[in-house]
Structure 1
Amino acid sequence: MSVLVLCLAGPLQSWGSAARFARRSTEPAPTKSGVIGLLAAALGRDRAHDVGDLAALRFGVRIDQPGTLVRDYQTAHHFDTGKSMPVSERFYLSDAVFVAAVEGDPTLITQLDTALRTPGFLPYLGRRSCPPSRPINLRFHHDRTLEQALRDEPWHASPWYQRRNRRHPTVDLELRLEAEGADTLVDTLRDQPLSFDPHHRRYGLRGVHVAEPVRKPNPHARSTDAQVTDHDPTAVLEGL
């Protein structure tokens, strides 16, 4: 098996796993269906194309910079009648950074890495209004598992975010892996893609295992080796 590691960063991201009427929410981390859709687009596939080979890939994601949840609302008019459509709520993650990975057949992983360099369709982070701000493909491995690749990858949070956490020499990053048989602490999410056909979109349930956090050094942490002196700033007040 081979692993392709991705960086998902942008001003806005939105990874929905459920849509209720006029409310479009987002998960706190990229969904498998969203990332598989991005990869299918990079391969130049249309929405009616079979995605069975991509859906079979094992998926995992690490939260390097959780971002801020923001709410927007949209108005629209029917194209033919001009009638006002219901106001809809849209939720996004602002300034978030994720490291995602897919594991599977080496030939397919190599094809995906090539496709991301010259994508057939422009990639976006969950919705068309959310373009990436960095190159998506980081690297691929032929000698590591999905979990090993996500644990070994450096911390990709923005420099300003790393500096904001400079009081902490290390950071713990949440790690979510597609569940396997022996995994515990498993949650379920309806983001297993079955079909992206706009006339019959279908998604199945998928197990998500929250693994032990990934601990990484903070390159912008304050030094703990500063020289300690006997300076007492209140000494001038003695005797007053």
Structure 2
Amino acid sequence: MTGLLLRLGGPLQSWGTHSTWTERDTHPYPTRSGLIGLIAAAGGHSRTMDPDRFSPLRFLVRIDRPGTHLVDFHTVGGGRPPKQTVPTAKGGYRQEGTGTLVSNRHHLSDAVFTVAVTSSDGTMLTETEQALRRPYWAGYLGRRACPPDTPFLITAVDDPHIWLHQRLPLARPTPYEESVTVEFVAEHPPDEPTGWTDNVADDPRDFTPDHRSYRSRPAYRYRRVLPAGLCGGYGTDYLDALSTALEEAA
């Protein structure tokens, strides 16, 4: 099956699933709603569009580097005159001494995920590739403050799942051991009944800001032992390994 290979890397990522007003969480891997939102933004779709139009898309996530979990103590509106603080839901302003909004914003630092995007709808996959190559709106990794670095859209290939399991370099340094254990997150059960299953409320029903809602879906997590030679390292070393892999497959 033809599909796309994406690399999601950057200084910070944040894939929230249970965010509240003051506690903005992050999932340990990209969410389905976050990936669909990224693709929808690239295609120029507004938040009022029906997310179900992207239901044919399927994602397989490889966790190249899980990153480091960090929490940003975030404040908004502090030290400003009353009429310059954060407005209330009723359209007014907060009383003196209550103008500062405090929140904890969770992020993944220095994480890298490689994603195989497939679809039973060839037209949808073509539209997705065109949108990611020439995005209408810039994409981000869960939050607008988290832009991706490059390479982002790697390429289109015939067997994206085989690429993730056997060919595509890992964005991590080569260990002293002969093999590495790598974690994957799939939307369908793996061929081998190993690993465990998360129940994640990240299948979007509505992106409208005042009516956001999500369905729960199973996320199948499993591990594979891959050869250490698949590790491409950091920076230019990784880019060289990626270029070599693509050239050999051409």
- TM above 0.5: yes
Matches for 1:136-215 after TM superposition, within 5 Å: 136-141=152-157, 143-144=158-159, 147-157=161-171, 161-162=172-173, 165-180=174-189, 184=193, 185-213=196-224, 215=226
Q: Which has the higher helix share?
A: 2
Question: What is the identity, as a one-letter code, of the residue corresponding to 1:178?
Answer: E
Corresponding residue for residue 241 of structure 2: none
Q: Secondary structure at the match of 1:5?
A: strand
Question: What is the identity, as a one-letter code, of the residue corresponding to 1:4?
Answer: L
Between the aligned partners of 1:74 and 1:92, the Cα distance in structure 2 is 12
Between the aligned partners of 1:197 and 1:181, the Cα distance in structure 2 is 33
Where structure 2 has 5 or more consecutive residues not aligned to the other structure, the ranges are: 78-85, 234-250
Q: CA deviation at 1:213?
A: 1.6
Cα distance change of structure 1 residues 198 and 103 upon mapping to structure 2, 3 Å threshold: same
Where structure 1 has 5 or more consecutive residues not aligned to the other structure, the ranges are: 222-240
Question: What is the identity, as a one-letter code, of the residue corresponding to 1:92?
Answer: H
Between the aligned partners of 1:50 and 1:135, the Cα distance in structure 2 is 29
Q: CA deviation at 1:53?
A: 2.2
Between the aligned partners of 1:170 and 1:182, the Cα distance in structure 2 is 21
Corresponding residue for residue 128 of structure 2: 112
Q: CA deviation at 1:41?
A: 0.5
Q: CA deviation at 1:108?
A: 1.3
Cα distance change of structure 1 residues 85 and 2 upon mapping to structure 2, 3 Å threshold: farther
- Is 1:92 equivalent to 2:103 in the alignment? no
Identity %: 38
Cα deviations by residue, 1:102-131 (Å, 9 ceiling, x for unpaired): 211222112111111110101000000001
**Maintained 8 Å contact 1:63/1:175:** yes
Matches for 1:1-240 after TM superposition, within 5 Å: 1-77=1-77, 78-79=86-87, 81=93, 83-104=98-119, 105-141=121-157, 143-144=158-159, 147-157=161-171, 161-162=172-173, 165-180=174-189, 184=193, 185-213=196-224, 215-218=226-229
Q: CA deviation at 1:55?
A: 2.9
Aligned length: 214
Cα distance change of structure 1 residues 53 and 106 upon mapping to structure 2, 3 Å threshold: same
Q: Secondary structure at the match of 1:193?
A: strand
TM-score by length of 2: 0.78
Runs of 4+ aligned structure 1 residues displaced above 6 Å come to none
Q: CA deviation at 1:214?
A: 5.0
Q: CA deviation at 1:50?
A: 1.3
Question: What is the identity, as a one-letter code, of the residue corresponding to 2:185?
Answer: R
Between the aligned partners of 2:227 and 2:64, the Cα distance in structure 1 is 10
Between the aligned partners of 1:156 and 1:192, the Cα distance in structure 2 is 27
Q: Secondary structure at the match of 2:211?
A: coil
